[in-house]
Structure 1
Amino acid sequence: MANLRENYNKFIHFPSHVAMGARVELGFVEAAPGWRLRSAQFPSKVGGWPAWLGEAGLPGPAALSCGRCGQPCAFLLQLYAPLTGRPDAFHRTLLLFCCRRPTCHRPAPAPGPLRAFRNQLLRVNATYPPEPPLPPAPLPAGPPRLRNGAALCRVCGCLAPKRCARCRAAHYCGRAHQKLDWAAGHRRCCGAAQSDTEIPDHGFLFPEYEIVIEPEETESSDSEVFEPLDEEQLEAMAKHETLEDKVFQKFKNRIAAEPEQIIRYCRGGEGGPIWVSGENIPEAKDIPNCLCGAKRIFEFQVGKLIPGYCS
């Protein structure tokens, strides 16, 4: 999760990866130039097209479909979170996708409207040099492409196994995004020389921002964020306080120092998730093991997002 960009710009070796888990780190959104949010800069970001880390094993359209409505999920955010002492995860990015339909986010049995993926690479790999990259080149026009030449969807930036049968230059993840692009303007320029470089706003992607990471400050105590109450008020609260009240108050108290946080990261540490509600808190038996059989651990949670996002 350590921000490597300053070291890249100084042309020095990759720094030692920060051991995560001993402390909670918070993520905040900031505007950033486009080049800093591309794959070669190993960004943490929200919105826009996903900045895929590796090129092999990327999820296809079926894996990125909403479990409720079946429509393509939109890229929500990604975190660059390498693991100390894991050569296979020298580079590691976690990506979240979600359905854009609010009704799909109502409580219901799985499968749901969220999709999570992991990209990771060795330090020596076929995509990036083992040493810091040169200063970024100008961003190419048109939709993103993987370095191996594989096309990505003009609408969502995910793998695009289909393309326009007429111009054969516009690529799509599936029929739904082909129809969306056609209505947004591709029908007017299909077959023209610029058809693969001029991409309209489809209203599908979330606004793009960088996620900056800072350690959570713990000096302030819980009492500092409350207004003083007299003894009578405290007695009344004690009599009527429910478990739900306690859970929600703990949540408000913890985030009050940094209300603009959107990420809380603490892989396997004591700073596990903080719950906004006492309802539907999963027990250990409710969390399925990994495909390898190992127990899953908490790594991060997503909180309030900027305007224009689901939360």
Structure 2
Amino acid sequence: MAEEGRDVVVELGFIQNTPAWKLRSKFFPSKVGGYPAWLALKNLPTNEELSCHICSKPLVFLCQIYAPFHDRDYCFHRMVFVFVCRDPDCYRENDASNIRVFRCQLARENEFYPNEPAKDTDLGSESPGAGDFNNLCRICGALGPKTCGGCKVARYCSKDHQALDWKSGHKAECKNPENISKVSCSGHAKFLFPEFEIELEPEELEAAKEKSEEEVMKDYEELLRSGQVTHQNDEDSDTENDLINMATQETDKQFQKFRMRIKDYPDQVMPQLLVHLKVDNPGKSIDWGTVLVYSCKESCQQDRNYIEELAYKQDYSPISQVMKNHPCAAAS
């Protein structure tokens, strides 16, 4: 979200499949999943910083948003990185202890990238990339200070990721050090989220601004009755129907306003992101309603490349609580 004078511009993110080469650091991508495309290629977050506050296990890269701040010379390039824990036991209601966020920014003239952006048709090498300056973990793409005792080539951030890689195939390839790549043969696929590009577009709310809250709520109720609150397609119809069913029971006005706000842009990356990550399963699963990131308004420069920001997680009320508060339930 950026400010232009007094007006606030809200940018919406939409998931799309993109060739992996377009999501390298030199293209400053906004993306979900895969390895992080680090902005500053030196002095990355430490392994301790990229660990869960609850279980202390390595976090998995969730997404990054390219948010340049051209009003300040020192943050011509600016990126926000979000990491989460994969352990469902660490997900607690309205608690962001298992989520960590980092901001990185660079001046236009910096030691890593030319002043002019790389051509997005360039299929060349991955350079410049963090692997040019650091040993990276083959599983998660974070710093890899640990080395396999057998091949002396494979690098890891932790014993957990070394064990995962060993079970996923490194046990066999370890015998041929000359053929070992920087990327795990298959272990990273078991840990990382599926990779997508996030296409950013400004939200247009001209019509909504002309309506009162009462009018918006009335429109919302009509949409609920018609079953057209969200766009449905073959892939997401079950999930969308579940959301509609939940919304019809919901008595929280803020939730209703939220559903009304997104009805014109149903494919934007919000809670629906969990569906694309293939983790939105019944029972035990990682989950969140909304993750909010608070950052310095002036995007102040500090003495490190990656500055940890404040994350706040807000969850939806459990459906049992929703039904408990519903007028029909109270009447019965």
Q: Could you say what secondary structure the match of 2:130 adopts? A: coil
Q: Is 1:26–2:21 an aligned residue pair?
A: no
| Match in the other structure for 1:119 | 104
Distance in 2, Cα, partners of 1:116 & 1:89: 17
Q: Out of 205, 228, 231, which is 2:192 matched to? A: 205
> Which of 222, 225, 242 is the matching residue for 1:227?
222
Structure-2 separation of matches of 1:121 and 1:288 = 16
Compared CA separation, residues 276 and 78, structure 1 to 2 (3 A): closer
Please give the alpha-carbon distance, in whole angstroms, between the structure 2 residues aligned to 1:153 and 1:183.
16
Q: Which residue pairs with 1:247 in the alignment? A: 254
Q: Which residue of 158, 163, 167 maps to 2:147?
A: 163
Q: How far 1:56 sits from its partner (Å)?
A: 2.8
Identity fraction in percent = 42
Query: 1:119–1:63: structure 2 CA closer, same or farther, 3 Å change rule?
Result: same
Taking a change above 3 Å as real, the CA distance of residues 158 and 54 of structure 1, as seen in their structure-2 partners, is same
- Of the three residues 144, 161, 182, the one matched with 1:177 is 161
| TM-score (norm: length of structure 1) | 0.70
Residue 23 of structure 2 aligns with an amino acid whose one-letter code is L
Distance 1:147 1:61, change over 3 A: closer
Q: 1:150 to 1:95 in 2, by over 3 A?
A: same
CA contact (8 A) 1:75 1:96 kept: yes
Matched with 1:307 is none
- Deviation track 1:59-109 (CA, whole Å, cap 9, x = no partner) reads 111101111111100000000001121111001110000000122111376
Name the CA distance, whole Å, in 1 between partners of 2:9 and 2:51.
Answer: 34
Alignment-derived partner of residue 61 in structure 1: 47
Q: Shift in Å at residue 140 of structure 1? A: 5.6
Return 5+ residue gaps in structure 2 as ranges.
Answer: 209-215, 226-249, 272-287, 301-308, 317-332
Structure 1 residue 199 displacement after superposition: 2.7
Secondary structure of 1:75's partner? strand
| Whole-angstrom distance in 1 between the partners of 2:74 and 2:86 | 33
> Do 1:19 and 1:83's aligned partners in 2 also have CA atoms closer than 8 Å?
no
Number of residue pairs matched by the alignment: 255
Q: Distance in 2 between matches of 1:248 and 1:183?
A: 44
Report which of the two has the higher share of helix.
2
CA distance in 1, matches of 2:6, 2:23: 22
1:168 counterpart letter in structure 2: K
Matches of 1:229 and 1:178, distance apart in 2: 50
1:95 maps to what in 2? 81
- The runs of at least 4 aligned residues of structure 1 exceeding 3 Å deviation read 17-21, 137-141, 223-226, 287-290, 297-304
* Residue 108 to residue 228, structure 1, CA distance change in 2 (3 Å): closer
The unaligned stretches of length 5 or more in structure 1 are 3-16, 231-242, 265-274, 305-311
> Could you say which residue in structure 2 is the equivalent of 1:261?
268
- Determine if the alignment matches structure 1 residue 81 to structure 2 residue 67: yes
CA distance in 1 between counterparts of 2:22 and 2:5 reads 24
- Residue aligning to 2:118: 133
Q: 1:257-308 CA deviation, whole Å, 9 max, x = no partner?
A: 21221159xxxxxxxxxx979xxx99xxxx8999x8xxxx99999999xxxx
